[in-house]
Amino acid sequence: MEANHLEETERTSLGAVRIADEVVAVIAGLAATEIEGLAGMSGGLAGGFADMLGRKNLAKGVRVEVGERETAVNLFVIVEYGTRIPDVSLQVQENVKHAIESMTGLKVIEVNVHVQGVSFPEMQEEQRIK
């Protein structure tokens, strides 16, 4: 689904409330980057270290499908070397689910974490210098 496509509509007595896919994607991206052990988001391409991002574009590396009351999220991430990938992934899933549900009222059906790479300390230092 396109990130700028409007899907979520909630009717109130005063009118409709629509939440853009991009909003859900930004919430998911921010919630994911809060987790220790996550080096950054990836553009979704395998081995795409050139696309590795920090907090500049929080929707980058996030794909969402938003329905009327539910959403599914796919995150493309890079983890820090030395972290336990299943633990980091579970924390990302829980944090993203909680953030989206509490902020939008949408039911999160699934949060899929796609680990695209591992960031080594030298790579993190190079990213900070650039």
Helices (H), the chain: 21-33, 85-104, 121-129
Condensed to tens digits (0 to 9), the pLDDT of residues 55-79 reads 457 788 999 999 889 999 999 999 9
SS3 114: strand
Residue 18's pLDDT band, with cuts at 50, 70 and 90, is confident
Span 2-21, average pLDDT: 68
- Domains in the chain with CATH codes: 6-129 (3.30.70.1350)
Beta pairing class for 38-41 and 6-12:
unpaired
pTM exceeds 0.85, yes or no: no
Nearest to 106 by CA among 73, 49, 68, 75: 68
Look at residue 57 in the predicted model and tell me its pLDDT. Answer: 72
CA distance 90 to 38: 12
pLDDT of residue 47: 38
CA distance 111 to 77: 12
Is the pLDDT at 51 greater than 60, yes or no? no
Average pLDDT over residues 47-51: 42
